[in-house]
Amino acid sequence: MSIPIVEIAHSAGIDADSLISYGRDIAKCPLTPTSGEAPLVMVTAITPTPLGEGKTTTVVGLVQGLARLGRRPIATLRQPSLGPTFGIKGGAAGAGASQVIPAEKLNLHLTGDFHAITAAHNLLSAMVDNHLHHGNTLGIEPHSITWPRVLDVNDRALRNIVVGLGRQLDGVPRQSSFDITAASEIMTIIALSTSLEDLRERLGRIVVGYTHHGVPVTAEQLQAAGAMTALLRDALMPNLMQTTEGVPVLIHAGPFGNISIGNSSVVADLVASSLGDIVVTESGFGADLGAERMVNLKSRVSGYAPSAAVVVVTVRAMKAYSGAHYIVPGRPLPPAMLEENPAQVAAGLANLAHHLRIVGQWGIPTVVAINAFPEDHESEHSVIAEFCAERGVRCAVSRHVAEGGAGAEDLAREVIEAVSGPVEVRRDYEPEQSLIEKMEAVARNVYGAAGIDLAPTARRELARFTERGFGGLHVVLAKTHLHIAHTAHPGEGWLLPIREVRLAAGAGYVYAITGSLSTMPGLPSHPNAEKIDVVDGEIIGLT
């Protein structure tokens, strides 16, 4: 049974009168960000298998373990998207004795932030097409419009569409598209905004397309930013929830980890830092994605850098990266994968080594968390622990899924030790470097590439972005989360191919598309939505 949210707020030092209550279990917190004084622990992972390695549940288990040791921890997590919830991955509330509760509310709508973002995004889309219909006084070139529409459901049929068909009164026909809401630039703007005023300014800077002379056209010029801010006012406030053991959790924003920043919001981290004595946050996918964006982008915006990193690893992932097994989403693990085989674990450790190198080069103290599963064997855990010991990296086996905070106490002790000293974070690039130099730095330092291979169109776009005053922005390299490189076997001396670059001026970065990525996922042949129902008033089948 959950504790009333007003009691959770009181335990965290939040005035209950300042909350916006969404029933007994959820409330929105006031925006009272500070400079970030509590140590910040970034939970990342090895390259995840299609099943995921349990970062969210490790965050929850860790804060519960820290609380058992007398600390006052607060977790900050992203809100799950309905796309993966109804698709193949399922919900993202954690697992077993280490969950955010109530899980069904977290995974379905919560306080409506995603819907507010969807509405604000599509309002701008509507105002773009309305401007074209009513004379196009700004001179927007219709083929240059880059602002799509969004929906928080996986729907491959909407990846490429034509709008404005029908009568003349129905608009100007043009080709367009849909993205999933988590891929919206507004989602990232919510995550990176430091205040309501900052949100308003960022929304105004959104570039929706270009004039016939190549001049950027913004949401401010379309007079859309004010109404968008009104829709998003409450969505900027973090959502207060709790873990299965009553530890406070701030849930906020949900930008994807492969095509966006993959972290919860700046305001959630800063609010948490003013309430607890240690903040634990999740950076999506592996250290090559969410953690890289935390270090090079988010922490620069917030001024709040990680004091330590937890790298989550599992035995099953190490066996998968040995090459002996293949994991298929939605199917049981191969029976042979569950057999005791320390040699296979050892054969997959190169992936862990790469992620430890990434975090180590940033100068961030690291703890490896072995997320233990019931079918693991102690000999297999020992292989990983010995590997870490040889490299002077802290390591702990965590059984938080089965045992809750009690199972994560060893991990919590290692984290407390890791955050005890001063940290000077080293980043991969400086703002004054060119966009190409920034992309090359991430490709080399994080992915291990020899450099980048820019398609001619991408090179021309980067030159245009620089000419238009966007050369000082950050960069995000959007790639698959299932490999360290853009593909499983890039070869010796490989170059990271960049086929397309896009501008996210409001969010404050230019992002490059590597390989083949879609910003609107599709549903599998048997999506999780088939299993979800309501029986006697209770939601069932939501994993």
Q: Which pTM value belongs to this model?
A: 0.95
**29-33, 194-198, 533-537: which has the highest mean pLDDT?**
194-198
Total domain count for the chain? 2
Q: Could you tell me where the DSSP H helices lie in 367-499?
A: 378-390, 400-403, 409-418, 435-442, 456-467
The β-bridge partners of 241 are 249
Structural domain contains residue 510: yes
Q: Residue 319 and residue 470: Cα distance in Å, rounded?
A: 44
pLDDT at 516 over 80: no
Structural domain contains residue 97: no
Q: Could you tell me where the DSSP H helices lie in 134-221?
A: 185-192, 196-205
Structural domain contains residue 317: no
Q: Which of 60, 3, 69 is nearest to 414 (CA)?
A: 69
- Mean of the per-residue pLDDT values for the chain? 94
With beta carbons less than 8 A apart as the criterion, state whether 295 and 259 touch. Answer: no
Structural domain contains residue 305: no
- The stretch 478-507 carries a mean pLDDT of 90
- Confidence bin at 34 (pLDDT 50/70/90): low
- Confidence bin at 36 (pLDDT 50/70/90): low
Q: What are phi and psi of 132, to 5 degrees?
A: -60, -40
**Among candidate residues 186, 204, 231, the one where a domain is terminated:** 231
Instruction: Find the domain containing 453 and state its range.
Output: 435-514
User: What is the tens place of the pLDDT at every residue in 403-459?
Assistant: 999 999 999 999 999 999 899 999 999 999 999 999 999 999 999 999 999 999 999
DSSP state of 263: B
Residue type, 241: M
- The stretch 182-199 carries a mean pLDDT of 97
Domain containing residue 173: CATH number: 3.30.1510.10
Domain containing residue 472: CATH number: 3.10.410.10
Structural domain contains residue 507: yes
Structural domain contains residue 527: no
**Among candidate residues 213, 231, 249, the one where a domain is terminated:** 231
Structural domain contains residue 221: yes
Structural domain contains residue 442: yes
pLDDT for 487: 83
pLDDT for 35: 62
- The stretch 69-81 carries a mean pLDDT of 96
